[in-house]
Structure 1
Amino acid sequence: MRGFFCALFAGILCLESIGGFCRQGYVSEEIREQATHLFHETEEKEVGQLQEDLHLYAQAAVLLDADSGRVLYGKNEETPMAMASTTKIMTCILVLENAKVEEEVSISAYAATMPKVKLYVKKGEHYTVRELLFSLMLESHNDAAAALAEYIGGKLLGETKEASEHTTEESKAALHRFAQAMNEKAVEIGCEDTWFITPNGLDATETLTLPDGSILEKEHHTTAKDLACILRYCIRESSQRDLFREITRTQEYCFTENGRSFQCHNHNAFLQMMDGAFTGKTGFTNKAGYCYVGALERDGKCMIVALLACGWPNHKTYKWRDSRELFGYGLENFVYRKFGEEEFSGREQYLMPIPVTEAQDEELTGEVQLAVELDPEAEGAEGLLMRAHEKVEILYRKEKELKAPVKEGTTVGEICYLVDGEIWRRERLYAAWTVEAVDLSWCGRQILKRFLVAFP
């Protein structure tokens, strides 16, 4: 009889716990607030130190960690400026992502009119995408850029006829569509202050009519930071990164088409100037000055340099001096540290079980110890290039208690790794299984179960 009353009492407790409660989700606002506070504490430290250490000719420059995207050094790195033929890295990667290198491109009359430097293609001729890409990236030919852009732009417009049949207006429409794709890709990459008008980097301005009827003048431009991020995409994130690297590191490429022979020589002299240099693109217009973007991989580090307005004639070699200075600084002053190897006081606690109240529990305690697991798919970088004295701040948060129901996979905490107040890695903690809440059906089953035990 005693067992029956125990079961009845347990059932009453179960019924009292029903209603008015909801599952607790994990909110990381506190982490964000702490990160913001840390940023404001550190943002004024060492301001200007790198500018004092480095003396660059470029009016805008950046040194970027290619793995994490962290800016290791910046000089006017967010100032919009013309970028000349460094534009062609975006042209190249878009062509690679939208065509096979064996495809044939026909030449329009408009593409053949592009100014020097050029391959001197002729209307009606055919070249493979591969041949034009080497012409584009090694010799920086403007007509190759226009021919490739017109070909891909026509594809995106759904055209079926060859570019050689285009009128001038049709050629311009295809090139405009390609420029749209360039800007769409820039937004996708996260380049917030870049605007493409031409596929070859020739200086250009266009007038846009906004939805409210106002007029906006836009120039072909980027920033040193955005330019470095575009190259980072080309060598790290694009599905065609291997082909991009192969083309841009090639020293010589020869081919024969239309009864003519061509030889393309790579004008990125920095490939031979510093061990580990493996890709890059030069550029020059009267407005932009000498520009350069390139990457170097050595000693477990991969870094990108972008330089804008790095001298005018007769200062063609300034960009090589600045590149050496920046890459040398990166190699000497930064080391790679993995976040998973950082120690912190809460590490032994973060996988301890979390109590879940108002939960279905055969022992009728009303509480379950829910196991916690670490999500292997963490967000952000595995590690970071850091100076020796820099510290990793680790913000750790986990729910102390949950209320049923809790579904398997529910986020119950997180660990954030910060450098200079910026979150670089976030590891999510989640519920290992589902915990159901007490309800009428479960209470009824518990009462019946214990009644049958009490009166067999």
Structure 2
Amino acid sequence: MFFCIPPVLCYGDEKTAEVGNLYALSAVLMDGDSGRILYEKNGREQRPMASTTKIMTCIVVLENSRPEEAATVSAYAASMPKVRLGVQEGEQYRVEDLLYSLMLESHNDTAVVLAEHVAGSVEAFADLMNKKAEEIGCRDTCFITPNGLDAEKETKNGKREHSTTAADLARILRYCIKDSPKREAFLSITAAPSHGFSDCEGRRSFSCVNHNAFLTMMEGALTGKTGFTAKAGYCYVGALKREDKTFIVALLGCGWPNNKGYKWADTRKLMEYGLEHYSLQKLSDAEFPKLPSTVPVENGQSPILGEEKELPLFCKPIKDQMVLLGPGEKVEVVYEGVPFLTAPVKKGERVGTLTYKTGDFIWAEQEITAREAIEEINFAWCLEQTIKRFGAG
């Protein structure tokens, strides 16, 4: 039984009021360059994510196989439900062609063919997906299937369902388009308007059309993936780059039939909010705190006996970068350093840190180090100084 979720406005949050009504039960707007979450609505709430799963399937396949490899169809893969390419047991297809089928038409049978080709089984491929999610920093995601069909499994921590959060889903897409060594291939496949291919023996031909309406909906649209199951509702994750600003939107539970267009309305609203309210500023324009030029060193060798040694400090240069800030936001620079040191101290030894942050989000850290080395006062040095000062003569 399908039902419609009306748009809900959660009061009490200024950004929520500025964004306005959203249909999605969970939503995130992310700065695609830094990974900072700019807006969220239940962004850490775990929910099924349907075929948005396939962005992880695609990147794991790209990173663990070659485009020209031939993948063989198993009986299990051929038995997958709609939406499906219609592959038949024993057929072979190039991995690259299957990736277009996966991402443009969201074929469920294709996902299983690819998973079995890369890892030998769906279960082993899910392990690869979960390992990659953990590497990316996704703490609330559980992959069971490569196609996003609703599923549950028993684990040592109890029953888990195939699910993620809007925040984790955005992180996964950010990895796909920014950090993965296969990011260019991912973008090329997911942005293609269409793709035609045949099985390896040339007996059957197929044509795939990209169903991601966002690609032609907004200037600068880069990529995205839709999803739907009766349990997950309509889901979407997409990315846009304009004026050197990159935004990622992730939506879960964004309406049920007959409200297929809700995800596009929410995506546009969040993207436009980001474009309108956030601007790029130089990290170096941040207001700096007053920094000490030296730090006292106890038990350090000094030309004057008994004098406390002052160690000059060096601030390692930081690579300047542009940061995305909203109205009223600024970069705070916080200095943390030791009040004193005890010899011996090595040249270049870290003695403090400058942290650039906005709220709890850390943009960068800059090391404060010792400009020179200072040896400790020991018996040999004391003897040498005594001879110099009071030696015979």
TM-score, normalised to structure 2, is 0.91
Residue pair 2:286, 2:332 contacting (<8 A) in 1 also: no
CA shift at 1:383, angstroms? Answer: 4.6
The aligned amino acid for 1:417 is: Y
| Correspondence 1:389 to 2:328 | yes
Distance 1:431 1:99 in 2: 47
| Correspondence 1:429 to 2:368 | yes
Distance 2:315 2:181 in 1: 29
> Residue 332 of structure 1 aligns with which residue?
276
Distance 1:444 1:325 in 2: 76
SS at match of 2:263: helix
Greater shift after overlay, 360-369 or 335-344? 360-369
> Residue 195 of structure 2 is aligned with which of 212, 229, 253?
253
CA shift at 1:47, angstroms? Answer: 4.5
The aligned amino acid for 2:197 is: F
Alignment of 1:28-43 (within 5 A): none
Alignment of 1:132-147 (within 5 A): 132-147=98-113
CA shift at 1:281, angstroms? Answer: 0.5
> Residue 185 of structure 2 aligns with which residue?
243
Aligned-residue sequence identity (percent) comes to 51
Distance 2:15 2:304 in 1: 64
Residue pair 1:58, 1:307 contacting (<8 A) in 2 also: yes
| Correspondence 1:184 to 2:131 | yes
Distance 1:372 1:255 in 2: 63
Bigger fraction of residues in helix? 1
CA shift at 1:279, angstroms? Answer: 0.7
> Residue 273 of structure 1 is aligned with which of 214, 217, 224?
217
> Residue 235 of structure 2 is aligned with which of 274, 291, 297?
291
CA shift at 1:382, angstroms? Answer: 4.2
What is the CA deviation profile of residues 243-264 of structure 1, one whole-angstrom value per residue up to 9, with x for unaligned ones? 1111111111112223111111
| Correspondence 1:374 to 2:315 | yes
Residue pair 2:28, 2:39 contacting (<8 A) in 1 also: yes
What is the CA deviation profile of residues 151-192 of structure 1, one whole-angstrom value per residue up to 9, with x for unaligned ones? 1112xxxxxxxxxxxxxxxxxxx2101111111111111111
> Residue 13 of structure 2 aligns with which residue?
48
Residue pair 1:80, 1:194 contacting (<8 A) in 2 also: yes
The aligned amino acid for 2:368 is: L
CA shift at 1:363, angstroms? Answer: 4.6
CA shift at 1:242, angstroms? Answer: 1.4
Alignment of 1:51-450 (within 5 A): 51-53=16-18, 54-154=20-120, 174-210=121-157, 216-257=158-199, 258=201, 259-346=203-290, 349-350=291-292, 352-364=293-305, 366-376=307-317, 382-450=321-389
CA shift at 1:221, angstroms? Answer: 0.6
SS at match of 1:87: helix
| Superposition RMSD in Å | 2.0
Residue pair 1:63, 1:73 contacting (<8 A) in 2 also: yes
Structure 2: segments with no counterpart, 5+ residues: 1-10
What is the CA deviation profile of residues 73-114 of structure 1, one whole-angstrom value per residue up to 9, with x for unaligned ones? 111111111110000001111111111212221111111111
Residue pair 1:358, 1:366 contacting (<8 A) in 2 also: no
The aligned amino acid for 1:370 is: L
Distance 2:63 2:305 in 1: 60
SS at match of 2:144: coil
Residue pair 1:68, 1:383 contacting (<8 A) in 2 also: no
Structure 1: segments with no counterpart, 5+ residues: 1-45, 155-173, 211-215
TM-score, normalised to structure 1, is 0.79
SS at match of 1:121: coil
CA shift at 1:444, angstroms? Answer: 2.5
Residue pair 2:28, 2:43 contacting (<8 A) in 1 also: yes
SS at match of 1:361: coil
Change (3 A) 1:209 1:414: closer
Distance 2:95 2:334 in 1: 50
Residue pair 1:186, 1:230 contacting (<8 A) in 2 also: yes
Distance 1:421 1:280 in 2: 28
Residue pair 1:417, 1:424 contacting (<8 A) in 2 also: yes
The aligned amino acid for 1:339 is: L
SS at match of 1:312: coil
CA shift at 1:377, angstroms? Answer: 6.4
SS at match of 2:238: strand
> Residue 5 of structure 2 aligns with which residue?
none
The aligned amino acid for 2:270 is: L
Distance 1:384 1:77 in 2: 22
Distance 1:314 1:183 in 2: 33
CA shift at 1:366, angstroms? Answer: 4.4
CA shift at 1:426, angstroms? Answer: 2.2
> Residue 161 of structure 1 aligns with which residue?
none
- Count of residues in Structure 1 that have an aligned counterpart in Structure 2: 380
Distance 2:52 2:46 in 1: 14
SS at match of 2:75: coil
| Bigger-Rg structure (1/2) | 1
> Residue 42 of structure 1 aligns with which residue?
none
The aligned amino acid for 2:144 is: I
- Higher relative CO (Cα under 8 Å, sequence separation at least 6) belongs to 1
